Amino acid sequence: MNTLPLDLPSELQTREEISQILSDFSHILREETPQIWHDTSFTHKILRFSLLLSPETNVAHFFTLFKTPQKIYWKSRDNHVEVSGVGIGHRVEAHTPHLSSLLRDVHALTNNAPPNVRFFGGTRFYASSEANSPWNAFPDSSLTLPFLECERILDSVTLHCTLIAPASTSDSEAIREMELTFSGLFADVSTKDNSELHTTFAQPPLVQKRENTPSFQAWKMSIGKALQAFSRGNLEKVVMARRASLHCAESPDAFSLFQQRMLSAEHSTSFFFQENTTTAFFGVTPELLYSRAERSITTEAVAGTRKRGSHLEDDESIAQELLNSDKDRREHASVQRFIATALDELTETFSIGTVNVLKLHHLQHLYAAFSGRLRATVDDAAILEQLHPTPAVGGTPRREALEFLRTWENFDRGWYAAPVGWVNAHAAEFAVAIRSALVTDNTVHLFSGAGIVAGSEAEKEWQEIEMKIAPLLGLLG
């Protein structure tokens, strides 16, 4: 690794400071030798230059200094990994709501690479036919290796520049391509004045109109249809979602909203995917789909929702009521059974933790952890095929629940409630993209869902969703 004596403060206060970093990186691109790896079939090569930065570097703020349209941000819920990504070093896409082929491509590309060469991305929950969907700017499925990354692992911060090129490309040609791309990013650094370069938050725009999809009457009808399906024995559970579209007087600063939302996030994974200058999807999700380190896997069952109490005694009373709720325990048990069945197929052995209450900033849920050792033949594609969608976001039985949603939900979920995360041949981490929002031009679309089982009431489930979207509603006034 190339290391330069940089003194980068936690808040980049002037454009000159970031320009100095990029100038130093330009020197590395011209003078140093990159790290180079080939994929397993030797059809591609990965080139990477790295620069060690001060441990005080504000990774999220580094992200905001570029006007480049394609950006990602990821922060693990244990706070051990944080990455800002700018531009595209390599991308794989599919016109289908399935990541399987892309995951196998990434495994082949990164099998010989170090474990911090990560592809970030996600996929649709399922295909949709909604006309003029707000998700049209997003690919159905994609995984991206950022061209430029500011990465923090524990207390070590590194700037990486990474490019994948055909193996037939000479090293000098590939480096020249990196220089040209890097020069474009360098020229695209924001020219905001010094005061704007502090990590302060933009004033949210005035919300002029709220539009609920579905309306309450349509929601009530769909809940009624679900209850009829339960009584016929066709369904055990279905998770119905809603979209609240907030039309604003001007374009919101999506990353500023996201950063403010992270301030009240506990035990949550934070993600941000920007496809162009007016479209971004972000969220702070408490739900881990799975985490893999070589052949070790962890996952969890999260279901049932209550608000937090106003004081300790009230909070504990609400938690006990949740633990003793027959409706919520049944909902959570269906998720546990689903995951146990999936892990029975995927692992040599696995264990299940006890059911506890997961306490977040605004809400609390029933929670149980799973861990296991994967079979030698299992890869990330096989894991996702088994685990997504869980009953926490789809329902049970899975096929019947998805058919019900396609018939009665009547809007495009897009990447909401689908897997988002990062992956390489050595490890992976995917979260369920709930507690999330999509920004398109002047509109903020908030997504959330509620688990419907026998005994559910339309009004209560509507209000549960209002509780879940309340943190972002509050930021927008």
Cα separations (Å) of 9 from 13, 54, 189? 8, 8, 18
Give pLDDT, residue 417: 97
Listing DSSP states for 332-370 in one string gives: HHHHHHHHHHHHHHHEEEEEEPPPEEEE-SSEEEEEEEE
Nearest CA-CA partner of 143 in 419, 422, 455, 346: 422
Q: What was the pLDDT predicted at 312?
A: 93
Domain boundaries, the chain: 2-89+146-197, 207-475
Residue environment code for 437-461, b if the CB has 16+ CB neighbours within 10 A, otherwise e: bbbbeebbbbbbbbbbbeebebeeb
pLDDT of residue 199: 45
Q: How far is CA 207 from the centre of its chain?
A: 26
Q: How far is CA 83 from CA 60, 71, 210, 246, 377, in A?
A: 8, 11, 33, 29, 30
pTM: 0.91
DSSP string, 399-460: HHHHHHHHHHT-S--TTTTSEEEEE-SSEEEEEE--SEEEEETTEEEEEEEEEE-TT--HHH
Give me the tens of pLDDT residue by residue for the chain, a chain 477 residues long.
333 333 334 444 455 666 677 778 888 888 888 999 999 989 999 999 998 888 888 888 877 778 888 999 999 999 899 999 999 999 999 998 889 999 999 999 999 998 899 999 999 998 887 778 999 999 999 999 999 999 999 999 999 999 999 999 999 999 999 888 888 877 766 554 433 434 456 677 889 999 999 999 999 999 999 999 999 998 999 999 999 999 999 999 999 999 999 988 888 999 999 999 899 999 999 999 999 999 999 999 988 889 999 899 999 999 999 999 998 998 898 889 999 999 999 999 999 999 999 998 888 999 999 999 999 999 999 999 999 998 889 999 999 999 999 999 989 999 999 999 999 999 999 999 999 999 999 999 999 999 998 999 999 999 999 999 998 898 887
Residue 444: what pLDDT? 96
Report the distance separating Cα 163 and Cα 184, nearest Å.
15
Please report the pLDDT score of residue 31 as a whole number: 83
Task: State residue 6's pLDDT score.
Answer: 37
Both tokens of 6, joined, read: 């940089």
CATH no., domain 207-475: 3.60.120.10
Q: What is the pLDDT of residue 117?
A: 95
pLDDT, position 16? 65
- CA dist 336 and 328 (Å) reads 12
Q: Cα torsion for 212, 218, 220, 221, to the nearest 10°?
A: -160
- For residues 119 and 144, the answer to whether their CB atoms sit within 8 Å is yes
Instruction: Specify the pLDDT at position 83.
Output: 97
